[in-house]
A and B are shown apart, each in its own frame.
Chain A
Amino acid sequence: MAVVTLKPTGNFDLTVEAEVITPDNFAGKSAQEIGQLLVWQGPKQYPLANYFEVKGDGADTTEETTITIDGDVSRVKRIGEGMTAGKVLVKGSTGMHAGAEMVGGEIIIEGDTDSWAGMEMKGGLLHIKGNTKDHLGSAYRGSWHGMTGGRIVVDGDAVNQVGGGMSGGEIVIGGSVKHFCGIRINGGLIVVKGDAFRTVGAEMTGGTIVVGGTIERFTPGFIQEDTESDIKFDDIECTGEYKKFTGDYAIPQKGKGTMYVSSVNNECL
């Protein structure tokens, strides 16, 4: 296992797009070669070494390459985009599109991430220990398919459009969400342990959503089917009693989506 450490040193006055920061690109390269990889700042490309102090060489294979970013990179976008294997550890916060379209491997972010983390993700693990913003694991603008595989774990809160258009994989949110959690999902699993503000599962045609906290405004196109206790999805356990709804009948589909809502926290439903 080889560790490449990147320490932010450059000027991030304009945001930097660094889709090259993946184990796939770093594998088989020396620290100096990694420093020569190009990133975008505005309409120009500059070497990675202009922005980061690079220590350590990449391993021979992607699987054995670990990248540690030792600092805050909240103005660096697209870290780990499309990575297929290996590991990225960020000891701070990242900008937008972290782990977007990732296929495999593991990304651990100890701080927060901006919007579009894990967009259209296909596999692997994205673990955000802080909070994230909008479009977590969702589809790109105009696309109908969000995340199709892998797992996203957020220890903190997410904001809007979590898992939009998702058709596979799992998203587990430790905190709460705001609007349109699970909009248009047609497969996969979203578990929100905290509260949701509104429009949970809007336009869903498949998949499962679990909300452990309170939903302030319930989506009108759902019909209660049953009550279940201690539900379990492989290694994800949701204890307590849940009201089981199907929907969303607001759209002309068969209402194949399932939503579990905590009975204790949503007595009025």
Chain B
Amino acid sequence: MTRTVNQELTALSGNEAVAYAFKQARPHVASAFPITPQTEMMHKFADFVANGESSAEMILVESEHSAMSAAVGSAASGARTITATSSAGFALMWEIVYIAASLRLPIQMALVNRALSGNINIHCDHSDSMGGRDAGWIHHFCENAQEAYDAGLINFRIGEHMDVRLPAMVNYDGFIISHKEDALYMLDDEAAYDFVGPYKHKYTLLDPANPVTVGPLDLTDYYFEHKYSQLEAYPRVFDVAQEVFDEYADLTGRRYGFYEEYKLDDADLVMVILGSSAGTAKDVVDEYREKGVKIGLLKLRMFRPFPADQLKSVLSGRQAIAVLDRSASFGGWGGPVFTEIRSALYGTADQAPLHNWIYGLGGRDFELGHAAEVIDALQKIASGGEVPTLNLLGCRA
């Protein structure tokens, strides 16, 4: 049943929007260390703590390794826990990022996507998130402040669900989304918390009557079985996420999925893209549609777990597919999204030629003309022309 609530159109930066979402979920603990472009998000959240709008215990640590360690300790003790970082900060968390997922602790993190060094660059690309793709977290990518706010709430429900119990990150493009004043609809605090609901922990370190061991030595006898039980959790994310997306759509009128299909129904040519660039590309898709070009766009929203089965059917029967990656895999064959899509489509009937474009590294602007360049190349591929499989976009090569 639809019970769409009133929502006010508000102007906020992406960072502020996510800080509101996190506040509205009433976390018990927040641990963080500042890094551009994430800093403003936790700054805003700390304001909520300081002015009494959030009763979270704010733990200011001396590094990101400690931020994630504190989050793990907090979540293991049964507290709803948030953190946030970017780029090198995420890299420094590395060891503990895996532990959070292995211990099945539903920590919520804002990963404000920023390039990794070197050289030092504070601007957006997805290499931070992609580096962590195998660590066991749920990776949600967002196109704008609205999606970042919504995913900020939705992730609590997915990650904390007893069929899932995994940490989740909301990825949004550094500066492009994090620092842009954008218009979005927000729920009021009460409606947002009604949706997220209270956190019920299953095991806690703080219950002497029911003692549990967390993170023991786990050698050749059982480590593999524990990894097996972790592997089993990821396919379940899809069912849980679908339920949560549906409920959120009933509540807000905004319907999400593992990916968004834009003008895909009759599209011969497809661009696959994630993050803020999807919005820019949609404007260009419209221009080409007016000229009669059957181009559509698939915006990937969930990269982990990867919705391979669902993508197989939606990408079948096309003439040419372009996969855009905002990160490189050095020494690999194509960017991370490309290899994943290619692998998902392997062996499907009528598989269209797949080509990869790496773009926007270190915040290089993804312009309207770049999307046009890709669509032009797709037309060329579809009509039998030669286009390299791996390409760079917007780079003075």
B is a partner of A: no
Residues of A participating in the B interface, judged by any CB pair closer than 8 Å = none
Residues of B participating in the A interface, judged by any CB pair closer than 8 Å = none
